[in-house]
Amino acid sequence: MNGPFRAALFVTLGWWFFTAMADDLPDAEKTPGVARTGLSKSTICATKWGKDERHVTAAMKAQVFALYGYSGYDDARCVADAHGQRCEIDHLISREVGGADDIKNLWPQAYGTTPWNAHLKDKLENRLHKELCANHVTLQQARGSLLNDWRIAYRKYYGDP
């Protein structure tokens, strides 16, 4: 294989490989992000996230997988991490900064992809909650950090993975 043909094949296969993995970022048309209305910063900061009631049903998760063309948790794009965790249906705007349990705020994200994965985004979500409650960022800034490209905010707080 020579020159232009090899380069075209690499670009084509490289694109396929990249898109065959779970996405680093959600599709903005499918998941534009939705925040809960009427939720104040003081309520957000007083809530014990993870111990509160979630309203994402199994049917909603199935709908999100279908929206993104995934077969479910066993989809090849749901790459497992070292503990066997494959994918989560993640909130684009995290619940820790008032993200809604809404289809338009959910997307599938793998745990085992590298370098960007659900573990890193979870770490950032926790950090943004702390920054918000310490008055280092506004609610709008915290949400915007997740909406625009969460990887940029991750690099700001932690550097490259």
pLDDT in tens, 23-67: 689 999 999 999 999 989 999 999 887 666 678 999 999 999 999
pLDDT at position 48 is: 82
Rounded (10°) CA dihedral 127, 129, 132, 134:
-70
DSSP-derived 3-state class of residue 87 = strand
Q: How many residues does the chain have?
A: 161
**pLDDT tens figures, 69-123:** 999 999 999 999 999 999 999 999 999 999 999 999 999 999 998 899 999 999 9
pLDDT at position 23 is: 67
Tell me the pTM.
Answer: 0.83
Residue 93 phi, psi (nearest 5): -90, 115
Residue 120 CA to its chain's centroid (Å): 9
Token pair belonging to 118: 């659900």
Domain ranges (residues) in the chain: 23-158
Determine the Cα–Cα distance for residues 39 and 36; give it in Å rounded to an integer: 6
